[in-house]
Structure 1
Amino acid sequence: MNRSNLITPEGATRLRNELADLWKNKRPEVTKAITAAAAEGDRSENAEYIYRKKQLREMDRRIRYLQKRTSHMKVVEHKPSDQSRVFFSAWIEIEDEQENILCYRIVGSDEFDADKRYISVDSPLARALIKKQQDDEVQVTTPSGEQLFYINKIWY
């Protein structure tokens, strides 16, 4: 499944800051530690050297990922003209069949966070909600089966 390139301004700032911090602060620290560990002698049995090389590989992988994502992301800075419907960055209050009230915000795939109640625009629930409006019923296929939700409220 292809991931959406949409992102909120806050999410874009967070990714750019992470990239800058990795590149300017953390990567130089790790390369300095690798140099110091390499100076200690035999690298094949040097745990510090092996650990730091692995750390650098993982960091470089994350840097490449962030460079690619930040160059292709589309920052959605404006609210939609039709705010009666669900679109990217909307907050939605929904109710399930057991009358449980749930509240979510639709964000980019790099921003989802269960603690903040952020769901990815690429998730099955968000896909089902897009373009719906208040009082609509939405059928969603979830890992536990089909679920029906009722849209109580939408806001931006």
Structure 2
Amino acid sequence: MSGIATCLWFDGQAEEAIAFYVAAFRRAGRPAEPGRVLRGAPQEVERVLLVTAVLDGHEVQGLNGGPEHRLSPAISLSVACKDQAEVDALWEALGEGGSPVACGWLTDRFGVSWQIFPKVLPEMLTSPDRKAAARAMQAMMKMVKIEVAPLEAAFAEG
């Protein structure tokens, strides 16, 4: 693990959200381990302040910070998947109770934005064959959940 972690601000939902993420990653066959729970100051020993987990090697922290700040799509968690089966599994698990957006983005039921994509996508989009890359980009722009087969077909045609 690196020394950088992602901290997500919740209004009393940190425990539930982090447990949801651990379960979602595990259901999708990705490694996920719950971490520590930090309770509030001595006068608030029953209040959970921070909950952590390691999702596929990345530490995610859930902070019960209160209603002052809201999550937005201005920041998202991005997950590269090895194949379509993994994209499908993570998309379904993280999308449970949330909403799909576009181009591999979804917002989970806690308001966190995720980008779920196959590892082959950035390879296609950065290909030295700029025409093939443009075709792959155009195909992706029409998708909600990323589908590998249509991307590969668009990339290869021509």
Q: Who wins on radius of gyration, i.e. which is larger?
A: 1
Using CA pairs under 8 Å that are at least 6 residues apart, name the structure with larger relative contact order, 1 or 2: 1
TM-score, normalised relative to structure 1:
0.23
Given the two structures, how large is their TM-score scaled by the length of structure 2?
0.23
Give the structure with the larger strand fraction. Answer: 2
